[in-house]
């Protein structure tokens, strides 16, 4: 399984933003969501997930709230802010450009 360092720089932020774009989630949930959506290919290490969450929160792109989980325990739920949504769009666009460019190279080279 690829290690987080194999993720392209900045890709983790994109994945996190995308993962909570529909509904808020806590750290565990985000990791699980990314794992299942990628058919278990991508596993986010906790060691990079939590620092990334705190960085995104510090930048004002996501906001955190303590809420009860289904299991009745309190957990920290992260949700996108308005700026976060804009940032997500920007990052998606960048990612689209980058991946199609890589595709082009791979196809033509």
Partner 1 sequence: MRLLRTLRQRARSLFRRAKVDAELDNELQYHLEQLTRENIASGMSTRDARLAAQRSLGGMASIEEQCRDERRLSWLTDLARDIKYAWRMLLKSPGFSALAVVTLAFGVGASLAVYTLAESLLLRSLPYSSPERLVTIYSVHQRRGSTENIGQEDFRDWQAANTVFERMAFTEFDQKTLTGFGDAERITGTSISEGFFEMLGVQPRLGRWFTPQEKKPGADHVVMLSHGFWVRKLGARPDVIGSSVSLSGVPYRITGVMPENFRFNEGYVAEFWTPISYVNYGHKNHQYDGYARLKGGVTIQAAQAQMSEIARRMEQEFPDCAGWGVRVMGMRSELIREIGPVLLAFAVAALIMLLVACGNVASLLLARGIGRSREIAVRLALGAGRRRVVRLMLAESVLLSSFGAAAGVLLAWWLIGLAIAVAPPWMQLDALVSLSPTLAAFAIALTLATGILTGLWPALRGSRANLQNDLKESGVSLVAGRRNVRSLNGLVVMEIALSVVLLTFAGLLTKSVANLLKTDLGYRTDGVLSFRMSLPESRYKTDQARLQFWDKLHSQLAALPGTVSAAVADSVPLGGTYSSVDVEVEGRTRARDWTAATSRISTVSVDYFRTLGIPLHAGRGFTPSDTAASEPVVIVNEAFARELIPGENPLGKRVRLNKWWRIIGVIGDSRYQGPAQQVEAELYFPFTQDPWFDFVAIRTAIPEEGVLRGGRDIIRGLDPNLPISEVRTMQKSVDLATQLPRALMTLVSGFAFATLAMSTLGLGGVMGYTVSRRKREIGLRIALGARKVDISRAVMRNASVLILAGSVIGVLCAFAAARALAALLYGVRPHDPFVIVAAPLVLGITALAACLAPAHGAASVDPMAVLREE
Tell me which residues touch partner 1 (CB under 8 A): 26-28, 45-47, 50-55, 57-60, 63, 66, 73-76, 81-83
CA distance 93 to 95: 5
Q: How far is the CB of 28 from partner 1 (least distance, A)?
A: 4
> Is-contact 44 53, C-beta < 8 A?
no
Residue 25: what are its φ and ψ, rounded to 5°?
A: -150, 160
CB closer to partner 1, 11 vs 55: 55
Q: How far is the CB of 99 from partner 1 (least distance, A)?
A: 27
Q: How many CB atoms lie within 10 A of CB 93?
A: 10
Q: How far is the CB of 10 from partner 1 (least distance, A)?
A: 15
CB closer to partner 1, 18 vs 26: 26
DSSP secondary structure, 63-91, as one string: EEEEEE-TTS-EEEEEEE-HHHHHHHHHH
Q: How far is the CB of 8 from partner 1 (least distance, A)?
A: 19
CB closer to partner 1, 18 vs 87: 87
């Amino acid at each position: 399984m690829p290690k987080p360092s194999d993720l392209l720089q900045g890709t983790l932020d994109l994945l996190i933003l995308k993962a909570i774009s529909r509904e808020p989630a806590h750290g565990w949930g985000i990791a699980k969501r990314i794992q299942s959506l990628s058919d278990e290919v991508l596993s986010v290490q906790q060691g990079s997930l939590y620092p990334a969450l705190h960085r995104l929160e510090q930048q004002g792109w996501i906001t955190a709230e303590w809420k009860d989980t289904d299991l009745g325990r309190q957990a920290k739920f992260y949700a996108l802010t308005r700026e976060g949504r804009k940032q997500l769009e920007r990052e998606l666009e960048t990612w689209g450009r980058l991946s199609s460019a890589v595709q082009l190279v791979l196809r033509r080279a």
